[in-house]
Amino acid sequence: MKDIFTAPFVEEMKRTTANMYRLGWDERNGGNISLLLDTDEVAEYLDLGHVIRTIPIGFEAKALVGRIFIVTGTGKYFKNVEVDPETNLGIIRIAEDGCTAELLWGYKDGGRFTSELPAHLMSHMARLEVDPQHRVVMHCHPTHTLAMNYVHELDERKMTHTLWEMCTECIVVFPDGVGVLPWMLCGTNSIGEATAAKMREFRLVVWGMHGIYGAGKTMDETFGLIETVEKAAQIYMLTAHLPRINTIRDHELRELAEFFGVDYRKDFLDL
């Protein structure tokens, strides 16, 4: 059996969490990632018949029974994943009852998955209905995106339109726009359900005064979605207090989207 510490999915989690911490998106123990794994690939590294312990997940996820995820741990700092992945990460499988996670590896200090796991799993279920190739849910607190929450209307059409105007690439990278939720209590099934409902329509969901959720087929795609929103939010925060002389007009946004062949939210433009 291969060494789990050399597994590509462990290496990818190490690189991504380190990069997100370096960028200031995941201060202290803020933020979490879950990656849906291929069962056959995991079997090359772990004995899938050996369950270390079981952990209740707090709701019923029948649609994910038998699915395996690598998930960041609760209370864990992203900066520590690279040096001690076995403590700060866990590989779990959703048990037959749909309400329990079987720990296959990790959380070696007796820890458990992120408190946001319900929101992650609900989002995975929602995105898999839209795109069977979906694999990643990522939550973080990008500085400028969060700052923008305090000075911009928390309206998904208006926020999407503003972000699209900030960088030429934005409408091409996230043509489906950005979903927005008001402030809600985190770590609850309620915010998970609200996020999953948005995920049926958007790959990006802003949690008001908290952070952002992103979903995608790969870690790079998901990271890139959030990275692009954060860059646009940074430009907005650098210019919002200044008179705007130039902007990307709606007909130019349409021209961009149509040139690159992306299916954009036409109802988010004034045409």
Residue position matching structure tokens 């795609």: 221
Q: How far apart are CA 45 and CA 224, in angstroms?
A: 28
**227 labelled catalytic:** no
3-class DSSP state for residue 180?
A: strand
The distance in angstroms from the start CA to the end CA of the chain is: 59
Residue position matching structure tokens 């520590």: 80
CA distances from 52 to 77, 102, 161, 175, 187 (A): 23, 7, 48, 43, 25
Nearest in space to 72 (alpha carbons), one of 9, 127, 22: 9
CA distances from 175 to 13, 30, 152, 156 (A): 27, 28, 20, 13
Among residues 102, 116, 156, 230, the one annotated as catalytic is 116
Annotated catalytic residues are: 116
